[in-house]
């Protein structure tokens, strides 16, 4: 764990160590336009020959990575490459913008890319092989996230990307979550539901406006939002914490299914059709991994759900975490039903809502 923390801290230092503009922090950004583009879209600005080669393939594998736990193939980001010589003000204003440049490329497109770097930055890139990435926000538009990937040689940059995929992906993923968080809770928040959770269940979660309380019982709470394109659901369940074995995948699935069989129905008024975990699709398995959940040990679980009569199904994302003071383990989940539609952004919304969950000791006034 210490090694991982040191690696992350080192990478943060690298992320802020190279200035690509001598006027960073000095420009007046008051009148910048609002960033454009849909959620999950990215523009990559790089040389066409490199895009068609090994470096471009590494960029695609990193940011077009296939997402786990979805019923159909979906990519992390939709990517469009733009010729550096054709990057106009409109294209510069997108939400997610990635520049890729290596000093060993002598093409006209690469020469244009080098103009985005100061002379001192280019000199430092030549001398220091440890630096390869720089990030900015609100450079050409408000709400924008920009990443520069660079190195002296194409081969060196490929190796850097291969070794730091997760961090590079997380920069843009976190930017998407931040934007979504602002949008979700910009409208009126259901503070009454949050207060109910604190008073009756000794936990807390921010519930966006539009989610309705379906079930409120000791040990189980279910919120739901149904509209024309989706049926989005969030539930919280808890029980006494016994041991670390409670975090094992098999036990989490058994717990999830026991709760779902009693509480999660296709129609709450018709209890003969209930939700179960889908474990029979070999190419979309239920996966678990240890995670840092708001500073505490947790386990993430994702996969597919279905109704026992096979009339409905979709993806789910869950987290388990312990409140040691109460001796209680929580399992919180978001699941979606939206047949025939892409699920990526729905599940990103689930993740944002779940991330607001807090145990009792974390309450703020």
Q: Could you tell me the pLDDT band of residue 28, with boundaries at 50, 70 and 90?
A: low
| Number of Cβ atoms within 10 Å of the Cβ of 128 | 13
Question: CA-to-CA distance for 77 and 64, rounded, in angstroms?
Answer: 5
pTM for this entry: 0.86
Which range (16-25, 57-66, 193-202) has the least confidence? 16-25
Q: What average pLDDT score do residues 55-76 get?
A: 95
pLDDT at 26: 57
φ, ψ dihedrals at 176, nearest 5°: -65, -40
Which CATH superfamily groups domain 191-362? Answer: Mog1/PsbP, alpha/beta/alpha sandwich (3.40.1000.10)
Answer whether residue 111 shows pLDDT above 50. yes
Which of helix, strand or coil describes residue 6?
A: helix
- pLDDT of amino acid 267: 72
pLDDT in tens, 319-353: 999 999 999 999 999 999 999 899 999 999 999 99
Percent of the chain with pLDDT over 70: 91
* Alpha-carbon gap, residue 318 to 333, rounded angstroms: 4
Is the confidence at residue 365, as pLDDT, over 70? no
State the Cα–Cα distance between residues 18 and 65, nearest whole angstrom: 27
Q: Is residue 354 within 8 Å of 299, Cβ to Cβ?
A: no
Phi, psi of 104 (to 5 degrees): -80, -5
| 299 contacts 308 by C-beta, under 8 angstroms | no
Q: Is the pLDDT of residue 355 over 90?
A: yes
Looking at residue 125, its pLDDT comes to 95
pLDDT at 113: 96
Helix axes 165-184, 54-63, angle to 10 degrees: 40
Domain ranges (residues) in the chain: 2-184, 191-362
Residue 329 to residue 204: CA distance in whole angstroms? 14
Q: How far apart are the C-alpha atoms of 308 and 273, rounded to whole Å?
A: 6
pLDDT at 8: 45
Q: Residue 39 — very low, low, confident or very high, per pLDDT cuts 50/70/90? A: very high
Q: Which residues pair with 332 in a beta bridge?
A: 236, 319
Instruction: Report how far apart, in Å, the C-alpha atoms of 281 and of each of 94, 277, 278, 354 are.
Output: 38, 11, 7, 26
- The phi, psi pair for 208, rounded to 5°, reads -65, 155
At 201-260, the pLDDT tens digits run 999 999 998 999 999 999 999 999 999 889 999 999 999 999 999 999 999 999 999 999
What is the predicted pLDDT for the residue at 18? 54
Q: Which residues pair with 215 in a beta bridge?
A: 222
Can you give the pLDDT at residue 311? Answer: 85
């Amino acid at each position: 764990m210490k090694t991982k923390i040191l690696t992350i801290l080192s990478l943060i230092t690298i992320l802020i160590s190279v200035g690509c503009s001598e006027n960073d922090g000095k420009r007046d950004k008051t009148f910048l336009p609002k960033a454009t583009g849909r959620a999950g879209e990215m523009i990559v600005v790089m040389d066409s020959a490199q895009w068609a080669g090994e470096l471009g393939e590494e960029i695609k594998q990193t940011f077009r990575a296939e997402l786990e736990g979805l019923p159909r193939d979906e990519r992390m980001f939709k990517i469009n490459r733009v010729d550096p010589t054709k990057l106009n003000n409109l294209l510069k204003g997108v939400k997610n913008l990635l520049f890729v440049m290596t000093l060993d490329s002598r093409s006209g497109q690469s020469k244009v890319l080098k103009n985005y770097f100061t002379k001192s930055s280019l000199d430092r890139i030549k001398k220091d092989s440890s630096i390869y990435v720089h990030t900015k926000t609100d450079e050409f538009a408000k709400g924008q996230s920009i990443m520069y990937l660079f190195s002296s040689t194409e081969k060196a940059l490929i190796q850097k990307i291969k070794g730091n995929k997760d961090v590079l992906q997380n920069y843009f993923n976190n930017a998407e979550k931040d934007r979504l968080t602002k949008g979700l809770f910009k409208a009126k928040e259901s503070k009454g539901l949050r207060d109910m959770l604190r008073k009756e269940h000794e936990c807390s979660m921010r519930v966006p406006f539009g989610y309705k309380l379906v079930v409120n019982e000791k040990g189980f709470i279910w919120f739901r939002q149904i509209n024309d394109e989706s049926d989005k659901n969030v539930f919280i369940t808890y029980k006494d914490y016994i041991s670390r074995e409670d975090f094992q995948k098999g036990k989490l699935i058994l717990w999830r299914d026991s709760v779902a069989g009693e509480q999660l129905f296709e129609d709450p008024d018709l209890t003969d059709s209930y939700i179960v975990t889908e474990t029979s699709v070999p190419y979309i398995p239920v996966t678990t991994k240890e995670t840092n959940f708001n500073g505490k040990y947790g386990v993430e679980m994702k996969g597919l759900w279905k109704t026992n009569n096979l009339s409905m199904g979709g993806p789910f994302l869950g987290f388990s975490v312990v409140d040691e003071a109460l001796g209680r383990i929580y399992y919180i989940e978001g699941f979606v039903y939206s047949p025939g539609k892409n699920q990526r952004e729905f599940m990103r919304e689930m993740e944002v809502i779940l991330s607001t969950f807090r145990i009792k000791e974390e309450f703020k006034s």
